[in-house]
Amino acid sequence: MVSKLTLEYDGSGFAGWGRQPGLRTVEGELQQALQTILGPRGADGQALTLTVAGRTDAGVHAWEQVASYAAEAVDPVRLNALIGRDAAVLRCEPAPSGFDARRDATSRTYCYRVLARRSRSALARDRALWWPRELDRRALEQCAQALRGRHDFTAFTPAESEHSRFQRRILRAEWRVRSAGCGHDQQPTAAPDALEGALLEFWIEAETFLRHMTRTLVGTMLDVASGLLSVDDFHRLLEGRPRTEAGKTAPPCGLALAAVSYG
């Protein structure tokens, strides 16, 4: 017996997905809620735990995270009554035997938002990176085009890494200009039209990602768009250059796990 959970959360108040002693995490809060309803053990007789499609760092949001656990499905209303208001279970449903939210995922999609205007936003401060300086938007799109396909992303993950393979295949990468002042789907982040033309979104889809990969890509692309690096420099970074040659890791506030695909 396996169940599939789909949830969203504002990562601002969490120390990431994974459980950590003494810290508030999404996994810790959700697992405690499940154990309160179902008991400490799953249908397999083992401790009731969660498997997640994509682990998120502290401050990173999720619009459509997926997790699985070995027990019966629970009404989302019951689960939401036991977790904080900055997280919400959207669906909880029976899954096929052996379903694993991480192993069975065929791709993950992330979105990083940049508020490119002179004045900061009080309402979007935890949803986007504020960038008050000039940006070459054409250079951003050229970098995104270079990402498509298989590359070596050694330059875009911490030098001290648990990864042994650094090649990843990028299925989709593009910069968009959001034309209305709203967040994911219908969630407002500012007054209508307040962000018109100023909210840039970097969308990237891949089978799997390296740690900090999306945020470091964004930080480096912003360096290119600011004139600190060239588009040719960015191309060279995709050939497995050392981490020191890439840009800074962008802050977590602008990043969200947007979707997980299966099959």
Residues 6+ apart with CB under 8 A from 4: 66, 67, 68, 73, 91, 92, 93, 94, 95, 99, 101
Indicate the length of the chain as a whole number: 263
- Distance CA(170)–CA(146), nearest Å, equals 10
- Distance CA(156)–CA(211), nearest Å, equals 8
* Residues linked to residue 176 through DSSP beta bridges, in sequence order: 201
Biggest CA–CA distance in the chain, Å, is 58
State the DSSP H helix or E strand holding residue 67, giving kind and residue range, or none if neither.
strand 61-69
Q: Which of 44, 57, 136, 232 is catalytic?
A: 57
* Residues linked to residue 89 through DSSP beta bridges, in sequence order: 7
In terms of Cα–Cα distance, which of 15, 52, 78 is closest to 257?
52
- Distance CA(111)–CA(204), nearest Å, equals 7
Whether 126 is catalytic: no
User: Which tokens belong to 112?
Assistant: 């990083």
What secondary structure letter does DSSP report for 237? H
Residue 252: left (phi > 0), alpha (psi -120 to 50), or beta? alpha
- Distance CA(101)–CA(62), nearest Å, equals 15
Over its C-alpha atoms, the chain yields an Rg (Å, rounded) of 19
- Distance CA(18)–CA(96), nearest Å, equals 25
Q: Any idea which residues carry the catalytic annotation?
A: 57
